[in-house]
């Protein structure tokens, strides 16, 4: 029975979609990267995420099912390899002979910069607080160096950053024209801060900008399979009611967004409003720093910004499918918190294996004829000769007895 041919044909379709060198993209449900048969063992490599786009990196064997022609396979093994903050890039050998670059996914970072002239203050408490805020953001995003390299927890798939500038007019866009969305180009963000920053002149709506940043950052994180962080740089000078403040905390917690807050501004503004920023950050699992220096701003990045781990799983089992000329199906099922995901494998029978050579039927019959027919013919010939001799001897003996009785 030809079992090898069936699985080989089944898995060829998978090998075509798995390039020789692949990289982990945004998570898309249940993805099979490679599969191979070393008879009789089938190996399938896959990754999985939930309905929110979160990669599942702690999959248990009990969550995996293999079904052949409707019959569950109970004997199989499950192995995993994981990229994480300590080892963010791994080259994983695939069972089909290729490789897969397993990388963590960088977080989405929305930066709410309260870039208003009011931040500088007036009178005795005035200062270049806009410049200090800009420098703190740069230290948050860049390592020391010349040129300064991007600060990252995920070098294989870096963080995505966007700027949000609270508006002081109803028609103003929150995001700068030159940086309309999230980007992995860290220097584009820095250049916008240095050269193209739209500085507001009046009182800004910080609350509305934070709300927008939370929504946009959470959405970008979900679309790209990462985590979400919002950095708020302000003196906290927005008259928030208790309800609106609690609404921000609830919104961030529901969307799993951590908030980091840098309190920068005049002494008076921070004394009056800094505690709100501190409460907002700590209630969401983030941190608050007042007038952080470069080292403190960089440490805040390392402490709060985390990459999303990535895992690839390998399941192995011995197949029971045979080549019987019928259509077969193997289904990989994975149970996630969001439901059960399935990946079916269509099978085609009657496919000769490249490892098996079929002899021509005529040669087989001819060889079998010489092996069996000739010896049988010889044996029959000997048997007939023996029988003829016995018959002749019996016939001769009978004739002799009859002649003897007649003479007497």
DSSP for 96-121, written as a single string = TS-EEEEE-BPPEEEEEE--BGGGG-
pLDDT-derived band at 320, boundaries 50, 70, 90: confident
24 versus 333: the higher-pLDDT residue is: 333
Per-residue model confidence as pLDDT tens digits over 63-114: 999 998 899 999 999 999 999 988 999 999 999 899 999 999 999 999 999 9
Alpha-carbon distance of 133 to 289, in angstroms, equals: 12
**Separation CA 254–CA 214 (nearest Å):** 10
Which of 7-21, 172-186, 249-263 comes out lowest in average pLDDT? Answer: 7-21
Asked if the model's pLDDT at residue 62 lies above 70, the reply is: yes
Are 342 and 30 in contact, with CB atoms under 8 Å apart? yes
- Alpha carbon distance 175, 208 (integer Å): 13
SS3 183: strand
Strands (E), 304-338: 310-318, 328-336
Upstream peptide bond of 385 is cis (omega within 30 degrees of 0):
no
Q: Assess contact for 220 and 182: CB atoms under 8 A.
A: yes
Structure-token pair, residue 96: 């089909």
Q: Which of 250, 252, 265 is nearest to 304 (CA)?
A: 252
Residue 34 pLDDT > 70: yes
3-state secondary structure of 129: helix
Kindly give, in sequence order, each residue whose CB lies less than 8 Å from that of residue 154, ignoring residues fewer than 6 positions away: 88, 103, 104, 105, 106, 107, 226, 307, 308
What confidence tier does 36 reach under pLDDT thresholds 50, 70, 90? confident
**Beta strands 99-103; 21-23: pairing state:** parallel
What digits encode the pLDDT tens for the residues 262-290? 999 999 999 988 899 999 999 999 999 99
Do 76 and 55 meet the contact criterion of CB atoms below 8 Å apart?
no
């Amino acid at each position: 029975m030809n079992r090898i041919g069936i699985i080989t044909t089944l898995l060829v379709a998978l090998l075509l979609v798995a390039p020789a060198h692949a990289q982990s993209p945004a998570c898309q449900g249940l993805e099979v990267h490679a599969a191979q048969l070393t008879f009789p063992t089938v190996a399938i490599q896959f990754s999985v995420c939930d309905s929110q786009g979160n990669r599942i990196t702690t999959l248990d064997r009990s969550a995996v099912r293999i079904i052949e022609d409707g019959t569950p396979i109970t004997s199989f093994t499950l192995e995993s390899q994981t990229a994480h903050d300590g080892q963010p890039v791994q080259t994983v050998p695939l069972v089909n002979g290729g490789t897969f670059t397993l990388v963590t996914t960088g977080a989405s970072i929305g930066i709410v910069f309260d870039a208003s002239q009011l931040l500088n203050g007036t009178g005795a408490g005035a200062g270049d607080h806009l410049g200090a805020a800009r420098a703190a953001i740069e230290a948050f995003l860049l390592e020391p160096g010349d040129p300064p390299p991007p600060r990252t927890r995920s070098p294989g798939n870096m963080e995505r950053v966007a700027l949000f500038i609270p508006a002081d007019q109803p028609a103003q866009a929150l995001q700068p024209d030159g940086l309309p969305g999230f980007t992995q180009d860290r220097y584009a963000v820095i250049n916008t801060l240095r050269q193209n920053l739209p500085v507001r002149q009046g009182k800004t709506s910080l609350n509305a900008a934070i709300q927008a940043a939370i929504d946009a950052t959470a959405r970008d994180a979900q679309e790209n399979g990462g985590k979400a962080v919002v950095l708020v740089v302000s003196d906290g000078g927005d008259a928030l009611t208790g309800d609106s403040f609690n609404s921000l905390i609830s919104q961030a917690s529901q969307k799993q967004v951590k908030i980091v807050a840098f309190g920068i501004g005049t002494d008076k503004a921070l004394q009056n409003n800094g505690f709100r920023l501190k409460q907002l950050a700590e209630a969401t699992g983030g941190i608050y720093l007042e007038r952080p220096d470069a080292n403190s701003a960089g440490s805040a990045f390392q402490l709060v910004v985390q990459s999303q781990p990535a895992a690839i799983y390998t399941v192995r089992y011995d197949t029971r499918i045979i080549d019987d000329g019928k259509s077969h199906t193997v289904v990989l099922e994975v149970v996630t918190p969001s439901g059960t995901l399935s990946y079916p494998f269509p099978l085609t029978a009657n496919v000769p294996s490249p490892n098996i050579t079929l002899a021509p039927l005529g040669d087989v019959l001819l060889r079998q004829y010489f092996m069996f027919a000739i010896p049988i013919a010889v044996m029959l010939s000997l048997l007939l000769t023996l029988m003829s001799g016995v018959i002749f001897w019996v016939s001769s003996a009978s004739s002799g007895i009859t002649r003897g009785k007649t003479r007497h």
